[in-house]
Amino acid sequence: MSVNIYKPTTEDRERIKHQFDKLKISGDGVFATLQGEGQTTGKPAVFLRLHFCNLHCSWCDTRYTWDKNSREFWQEPEDWSYGETAVRINNAWESVFPTNQEKRLVITGGEPLLQQRKIVNLLQRLPGWEIEIETNGTIMPIPELYTCQFNCSPKLENSGNPLQIRYKPEVLRVINNLSKSQFKFVVTKPLDLDEIDLIVSNCNLNPTKILIMPEGQTKKEVEIRYQMIKDAVEARGWGITLRNQLIWFGSKRRT
C-alpha cells in the first residue's frame, strides 16, 4: 500500500520554526467544549492545542501535531503572542459558557511541556482560570506550573515508542507528588495492565490517581476493550475513564 508523504516547501519549514516570544499553535487552535476525560469529565472547558510532540504513538488521534509526513503538520501551525492567545481563550469561553461559571483551560497537544516556559507567560494573562495541562510524562515540569492540574498519560509498549524515550520514572514521581495530578494509561489489551503494575510499583504511584482508558477510534472499539479490562481494573482499585469526546462527538476533529 502506498503512503502519501508530503514534501514541505521552504515556506513550510519557516512556518514551524519556534518564535522565542510566541506559542506554536496547532491547526485546532482554541475551542470550547466539555472535558471528555479524567477527573473533571463533563466540566465546561476551553482547549488550547499546542504543536509538536516528542513521542509518536501508533494510535495517536492528533498526528498532525508531530507527523512530518503529513501536510497538516507543516501547513496548519500558527504563532500567537501571549496576549493574542489569552484573548482567543477568553472569547472562546464567552461565546459558549456563562461568564459567571468557573473558567477551565485545558492545555493539550502534542506535548505542551515542550513549550512550558511560554505557558508560564500565557498563564500570567489568565488570572482566575483553573488550568489543566496534559502531558506524556517524559518532560520534567517546572515549579512555576506546580499549581496546575497535571493530566499525565505515560505511554506503554502498545504506543510503539521505544522504552528509553517513553518511560521517565523520575518525572512520574515528581508529578505523582503534586497536589493536583492524575495518571491516565491507554490500554489495548488486558496484558497492558501487567505493564502498568510495574510502573505503579517502580514509581510508587498513588493508586487513587490512576485511571485506565480503553483505546479505540470508534465507540464500538472502546466498548469492546472496556468489557475486556473492567473486572481486572476494578480488582486493582483503579478507576476507568472513557473517551467521552468520541462518544459525544464522534471521531471528527474539534475546531
Other CB atoms within a 10 A radius of the CB of residue 89 amount to 22
Instruction: Specify binding-site residues for substrate.
Output: 34-36, 49, 108
pLDDT at 219: 85
Instruction: Specify binding-site residues for [4Fe-4S] cluster.
Output: 53, 57, 60
212 has pLDDT over 90: yes
Cβ burial of 51 (10 Å; 0-12, 13-18, 19+) is buried
**Residue 175 maps to which CATH number?**
3.20.20.70
Look at residue 138 and tell me if it is in a domain: yes
Look at residue 10 and tell me if it is in a domain: no
Look at residue 219 and tell me if it is in a domain: no
Look at residue 130 and tell me if it is in a domain: yes
Question: How far is the first Cα of the chain from the last one, in angstroms, to the nearest whole number?
Answer: 31
Look at residue 109 and tell me if it is in a domain: yes
Give the 3-state secondary structure of residue 104. Answer: strand
Other CB atoms within a 10 A radius of the CB of residue 106 amount to 24
Q: Could you tell me which of 36, 26, 23 has the C-alpha nearest to residue 80?
A: 23
Look at residue 209 and tell me if it is in a domain: no
Range of the domain at 121: 20-186
Q: Measure the CA–CA gap between 65 and 68, rounded to whole angstroms.
A: 9
Look at residue 225 and tell me if it is in a domain: no
Q: How many domains does the chain have?
A: 1
Q: Write out the E strands in 122-233.
A: 130-135, 149-152, 181-187, 210-214
139 has pLDDT over 50: yes
Contact 125, 82 (CB under 8 A): yes
Cell of 220: 464500538
pLDDT at 217: 82
55-95 per-position pLDDT tens digit: 999 999 999 999 999 999 999 999 999 999 999 999 999 99
Instruction: Specify binding-site residues for Mg(2+).
Output: 62
Instruction: Specify binding-site residues.
Output: 34-36, 49, 53, 57, 59-62, 108, 110, 153-155
Q: Could you tell me which of 242, 217, 211, 205 has the C-alpha nearest to residue 227?
A: 242
204 versus 38: which is more confidently predicted? Answer: 204
126 has pLDDT over 80: yes
Q: Report, as an integer, the average pLDDT of 226-236.
A: 95
pTM score, whole prediction? 0.94
Look at residue 121 and tell me if it is in a domain: yes
Contact 32, 97 (CB under 8 A): yes
Q: Report, as an integer, the average pLDDT of 173-178.
A: 98
Model confidence band, residue 1 (pLDDT cutoffs 50, 70, 90): very low
Model confidence band, residue 249 (pLDDT cutoffs 50, 70, 90): low
Instruction: Specify binding-site residues for S-adenosyl-L-methionine.
Output: 59-61, 110, 153-155
